[in-house]
Amino acid sequence: MARPSMGSYFTVWKGPGCNNQAARYNDLRGGYEFVYQGQTASAYNQPSCNGVAQTRFPGGAQMCRSFGWRSFFTQC
């Protein structure tokens, strides 16, 4: 039987903070949570993960305030 794979994921909130409308990824930047499940990730200030990663996520992280990243890449 096929089962869904478990993977790291990035959730963002509309804001302010982490207490309202959430989405796995959209144009929301009110707060974030990265759930680490074995895959690291990087956040970029440019679209399409261009340039140098501004923040790297070797494990889980959460911040309930606005952020400026424009793209996010999960290592698979």
The answer to whether the beta carbons of residues 41 and 71 sit under 8 Å apart is no
pLDDT at position 41 over 90 = yes
Between 7 and 54, name the one with better pLDDT.
Answer: 54
Measured between its terminal Cα atoms, the distance across the chain in Å is: 22
Average pLDDT of span 55-68: 92
Residues 9-34 have pLDDT tens digits of 888 888 778 877 776 665 667 888 89
Could you tell me the domains of the chain?
9-74 (2.60.20.30)
Model pTM score: 0.76
Q: What angle do CA 75, 33, 52 make, to 5 degrees?
A: 45
